[in-house]
Structure 1
Amino acid sequence: MIKKLLIIFTSLLIFNNIYSQERKPLYGIISDSLDVINNVHIINIQSNIATATIIDGTFKTFAKVGDTLKITSIQHQTKKYIVKKTSFGFNQLKIYLQPKIYELDEFEIKKHNLNSVLTSDVDKTPINKNHERVKNMVNEIKRMDFSRPIIEKLDFIESNVKPTKVTVDPIQKVLENGLFFGTKQSLSNGKNSKEYWDLRKELKFKKNFPKKLLTELGNSFFYKDLKIPKEKYYHFIEYCNLKEIEELYKKNELLKVIKILQEESISYLKIIKKD
Structure 2
Amino acid sequence: MIEFAAASGPRLMLDETSVLDIGGCIVNGVDIAPKRAIPDDGDPRIDHSLEGFLFTCGPDHIRHRQPIPGRDDGKVYPLHGSASGHSAKVLWTKYENGNAECRADIDIVTVDGLQQRIERLWRIDGATGEARLEDRVINASDEVVPTFLMYHMNVGGKWLDEGTRLEGRMLENGGSPWAFGEEPGGIFCVPAPATEEGFAEVRLGPIAAIGGRTLSLRFRADTLPFLQIWRNQKAPAHIIGIEPASHRWVARDELEAAGEFNMLAPGESRSYALSFAFL
Shorter-chain TM-score tier: under 0.3
Structure having greater relative contact order (Cα 8 Å, sep ≥ 6): 2
TM-score with structure 1 length normalisation?
Answer: 0.22
Q: Which has the larger radius of gyration?
A: 1
TM-score with structure 2 length normalisation?
Answer: 0.22
In proportion to residue count, which structure has more strand? 2
